[in-house]
């Protein structure tokens, strides 16, 4: 990761005006992987493919598998590239679930209806909220990111992802 890490401050500067890639978490963004296993999400992230022509590639701090095990991939004090406009303030959690041709909300319902995974997701978020003093209103879905008060991108980029709609997040937030 050394050669990729040196590119991080440049991304942080271009998009957020930050002088370093150090993260002080204020927001939690929930995603789902569009894959059936955490290993395939890990494999995608570890390939570190340029996204929109820039490095580092996309990643998230945690990948939560369907049995409820949270795999931490990145230290929590390091920015990770998972949500345009919020990477400078947000921890990213990827929940393992594919859509199999269905809608995002279908995928979210599979997660919310799978007790081991859903309870582990709630426990992980609560733990992070306690550690960093993050309000439940600042636990958001990727699809809600463009509207968040801390959203900023100096190049004018915006998210076009549909993972974790407001309706599903309202259900998830009610469990926190």
Q: From the list 8, 27, 31, 108, which residue makes contact with Zn ion (rule: CB under 5 A)? A: 31
* Cross-strand bridge partners of residue 29: 92, 140
- Asked if 61 touches Zn ion (CB under 5 A), the answer is no
Q: By C-beta, is 17 or 106 nearer to Zn ion?
A: 106
Mapped onto helix, strand or coil, the DSSP state of residue 104 is: helix
Exposed e or buried b per residue across 88-99, where buried means at least 16 C-beta atoms within 10 angstroms of its C-beta:
bbbbbbbbbbeb
Q: At what angle do helices 104-112 and 166-174 cross, to 10 degrees?
A: 10
- Asked if 142 touches Zn ion (CB under 5 A), the answer is yes
Q: How many CB atoms lie within 10 A of CB 51?
A: 13
Total residues at the site for Zn ion (CB under 5 A)? 4
Segment interacting with Zn ion, rule: CB under 5 A, options 17-25, 61-69, 122-130, 153-161: 153-161
Q: Residue 96 CB, nearest distance to Zn ion (Å)?
A: 13
Q: Residue 85 CB, nearest distance to Zn ion (Å)?
A: 12
Q: From the list 161, 162, 165, 173, which residue makes contact with Zn ion (rule: CB under 5 A)? A: 161
Q: How many CB atoms lie within 10 A of CB 155?
A: 9
Q: By C-beta, is 65 or 163 nearer to Zn ion?
A: 163
Whether residue 9 has a cis bond before it, omega within 30° of 0: no
- Asked if 81 touches Zn ion (CB under 5 A), the answer is no
Mapped onto helix, strand or coil, the DSSP state of residue 95 is: strand
Q: From the list 33, 163, 168, 172, which residue makes contact with Zn ion (rule: CB under 5 A)? A: 163
Q: Taking a C-beta distance cutoff of 8 angstroms, is the pair 140, 91 a contact?
A: no
Report DSSP state, residue 138.
Answer: G
- Asked if 146 touches Zn ion (CB under 5 A), the answer is no
Q: Residue 163 CB, nearest distance to Zn ion (Å)?
A: 4
The site for Zn ion (CB under 5 A) is made up of 31, 142, 161, 163
């Amino acid at each position: 990761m050394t050669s990729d890490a040196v590119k991080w401050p440049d991304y942080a500067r271009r998009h957020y005006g930050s002088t370093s890639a150090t993260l002080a978490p204020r927001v939690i963004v929930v995603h789902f992987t569009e894959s059936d296993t955490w290993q395939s999400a890990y494999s995608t992230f570890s390939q570190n493919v340029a996204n929109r022509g820039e490095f580092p590639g996309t990643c998230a701090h945690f990948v939560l598998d369907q049995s409820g095990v949270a795999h931490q991939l990145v230290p929590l004090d390091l920015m990770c590239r998972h949500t345009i406009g919020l990477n400078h303030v947000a921890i990213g959690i990827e929940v393992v679930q594919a859509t199999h041709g269905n809608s995002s909300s279908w995928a979210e319902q599979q997660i919310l209806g799978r007790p081991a995974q859903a309870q582990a997701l709630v426990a992980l978020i609560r733990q992070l909220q306690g550690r960093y003093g993050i309000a439940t209103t600042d636990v958001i879905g990727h699809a809600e990111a463009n509207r968040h008060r801390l959203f900023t991108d100096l190049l004018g980029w915006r998210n076009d992802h549909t993972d974790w709609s407001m309706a599903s997040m309202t259900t998830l937030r009610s469990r926190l």
